[in-house]
Amino acid sequence: MESDRRAGAVIAAMGAYVPKQVVDNNALARTLDTSDEWIYARTGIRRRHVAGPEETTATVSQRAAEECLRAAGFPAADLRWVLVSTDTPEMWNPASACFVQAGIGATQAVALDVTGGCSGFVASLGMARALAERGDPVLLIGCEVLSKAMDWSDRSTAVLFGDGAGAVLVLPADAARGLAIEAVYARTDGRDADILGKPYGGTRNPITPELVAGGHHHRIVMNGQYVFKHAVLRMAEAAEEALRIAGVGLEAVDWVIPHQANQRIMDAVADRLHVPREKVFSNVEEYANTGSASIGIALVEAIQQGLIRPGHNLLTVAFGSGFSWAGAVLRTEVVVPVGADLV
């Protein structure tokens, strides 16, 4: 007997938020030995949005969540899960998602954080799909407030990052139409765990007066060229594997929405996949690398710009600390409602 229940899960609505304080490259060049030319040539970044004194991972996440739920017309009280993918949590514990849950009134939800590097949002999309497939409405937010967690005197990392959040409402496929989550592929390789990250302030290197005096408490450790090389290889792999699982050929992809790490990485991934660069959405110039938030913000902007149409196949790919990498294929059944408070 044929079931009338549609299998799978869809993104039914999206939201995005970035802080209103903008720091451009010239502003950074006033305190760091750097320049707009150097930063733009190496990364494609011109400016980044930075949280104000009152803004935190919970408040920035909540703004994106509110935009998403308002666009969907979906009551927060009907959510079963609130997931926040972030590497810059509100605090050690409880989870950032608990504060978001309280803020939006998702009284029936379980609130959890995922620490998955810059690919945490895409990997979490796989979890959200599994939860939604069994009938649970899920709100997934990717958020970073990197500005409060990094060393602004280190020119090798300070120029790269920005703050923001993207949110998606993931529902069972028989409850809504939207961006059908056709496939999610996610991997990690912990052998490279020490290459990129923020190793101070945890249990391995607890905060001490000496640590703070040495300026270590905010330090981001990164081997830039090693990260660059692996980001290109792994994002290409994630793209190919996600497409293989979805049964979609590269030629049938209408838009690639990559993690906005930097323009040179995005260009290199496009070239490696033989995808025309015009099919690769980029807003890294405006927002810099917003980690787990970048794909949500990019998808929302692509929709706002009218680039996504019914029938379009979307490919998202990401790479980050861990190392971790992930790709997802989304099929546009209908263009989903989005709410956004961006530039």
| Residue 93 half-sphere exposure toward CB, CA atoms < 13 A | 2
Question: Which value, in Å, is the radius of gyration of the alpha carbons in the chain?
Answer: 19
> Using CA atoms in the order 322, 328, 334, 338, what is the torsion angle rounded to 10 degrees?
10
* Contacting residues for 208 by C-beta, under 8 A, at least 6 apart: none
The secondary structure of 74-118 as a DSSP string is --GGG-SEEEEE-SS-SSSSS-HHHHHHHHHT-TT-EEEEE--GG
Q: Which is nearer to ligand ACO, 100 or 160 (CB)?
A: 160
As a whole number of angstroms, the distance between CA 249 and CA 273 comes to 11
Active site residue 118: yes
As a whole number of angstroms, the distance between CA 85 and CA 243 comes to 23
Q: In the bound complex, what is the minimum distance in angstroms from residue 258's beta carbon to ligand ACO? A: 10
Active site residue 259: yes
CB contact at 8 A, 331 and 309: no
Of 25, 118, 218, 230, catalytic: 118
Q: In the bound complex, what is the minimum distance in angstroms from residue 284's beta carbon to ligand ACO? A: 10
Q: Which is nearer to ligand ACO, 43 or 332 (CB)?
A: 43
CB contact at 8 A, 15 and 338: yes
Q: In the bound complex, what is the minimum distance in angstroms from residue 34's beta carbon to ligand ACO? A: 3
Q: Which is nearer to ligand ACO, 190 or 306 (CB)?
A: 190
* Contacting residues for 332 by C-beta, under 8 A, at least 6 apart: 179, 180, 308, 309, 310, 311, 312, 313, 314
* Contacting residues for 225 by C-beta, under 8 A, at least 6 apart: none
Of 25, 262, 283, 289, catalytic: 289
Query: Nearest-CB residue to ligand ACO?
Result: 224
As a whole number of angstroms, the distance between CA 311 and CA 335 comes to 9
* Contacting residues for 48 by C-beta, under 8 A, at least 6 apart: 22, 23, 147, 161, 162, 163, 287, 288
Cβ neighbours of 213 (radius 10 Å): 9
Longest Cα–Cα distance in the chain: 70
Q: Which is nearer to ligand ACO, 110 or 193 (CB)?
A: 193
Of 49, 218, 230, 259, catalytic: 259
Q: In the bound complex, what is the minimum distance in angstroms from residue 306's beta carbon to ligand ACO? A: 28
Q: In the bound complex, what is the minimum distance in angstroms from residue 95's beta carbon to ligand ACO? A: 23
Which stretches of the chain bind ligand ACO, using CB under 6 A? Answer: 34, 38-39, 42-43, 118, 155-156, 159-160, 196, 222, 224-225, 227-228, 231, 261-262, 289, 319-320
Q: In the bound complex, what is the minimum distance in angstroms from residue 7's beta carbon to ligand ACO? A: 33
Q: In the bound complex, what is the minimum distance in angstroms from residue 343's beta carbon to ligand ACO? A: 21
CB contact at 8 A, 165 and 61: yes
**Residue (of 126, 123, 99) closest to 112 by Cα position:** 99
Q: Enumerate the active-site residues.
A: 118, 259, 289
